[in-house]
């Protein structure tokens, strides 16, 4: 545990980060900005895994291992999303959500 800091404070900070990500996800109309918001949401959840592991169950490592898996999946997801955004830009010259009507391979 981090000395002097309770688990409640850290969880509140990650909740705020999570809802900032949700706000960005709902208000942005650009695919890359939506990707940025998804990264915020994923990072907030990863901190939750790590902190709960550290504070409540310090002798097992499940939270750390799950965090590593989440980071790997996020990297794969970002690579695929960027590839799809490139393809879309080649076809319709725009990455706005409102103009995205075709997503055919």
Partner 1 sequence: MEKFIFYGLALTMIGFAIASVTSRKMLRSVVYLLFVLIGIAGVYFMADYNFLAAIQLTVYAGGIIVLIIFSVLLVHHIDMEMEVPNKTKRILTALTCLAGLGVFASTIIAHPFKVVPNTITTTTGDIGMKLLSYDAGGFILPFEVISVLLLAAMIGAITIARSGKAPLDETEIFTPSPEQLPRELLEEPLEKEIAVSYKESTLLETIH
Query: Rule CB under 8 A: which of 38-77 touch partner 1?
Result: 39-40, 43, 46-47, 50-51, 54-62, 64-65, 67-69, 71-77
- In the chain, count of helices (H) and strands (E)? 3, 0
Q: Are residues 51 and 10 in contact, defined by beta-carbon separation less than 8 angstroms?
A: yes
Q: Are residues 7 and 51 in contact, defined by beta-carbon separation less than 8 angstroms?
A: yes
CB closer to partner 1 out of 29 and 101: 29
In the list 36, 45, 99, 102, the residue contacting partner 1 (rule: CB under 8 A) is 36
Rounded to whole angstroms, the Cα distance separating 24 from 10 reads 21
| Shortest Cβ 4–partner 1 spacing (Å) | 5
99 binds partner 1 (CB under 8 A): no
In the list 45, 85, 100, 102, the residue contacting partner 1 (rule: CB under 8 A) is 85
Helix (H) or strand (E) holding 82: helix 62-92
């Amino acid at each position: 545990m981090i000395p002097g800091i309770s688990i409640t404070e850290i969880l509140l900070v990650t909740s705020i980060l999570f809802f900032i990500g949700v706000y960005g996800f709902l208000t942005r109309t650009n695919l890359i900005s939506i990707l940025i918001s998804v990264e915020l949401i994923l990072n907030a959840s990863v901190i939750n895994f790590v902190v709960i592991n550290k504070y409540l169950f310090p002798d097992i490592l499940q939270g750390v291992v799950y965090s590593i898996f989440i980071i790997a999946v996020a990297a794969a997801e970002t690579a695929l999303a960027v590839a799809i955004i490139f393809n879309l830009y080649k076809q319709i010259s725009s990455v706005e959500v409102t103009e995205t009507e075709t997503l055919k391979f």
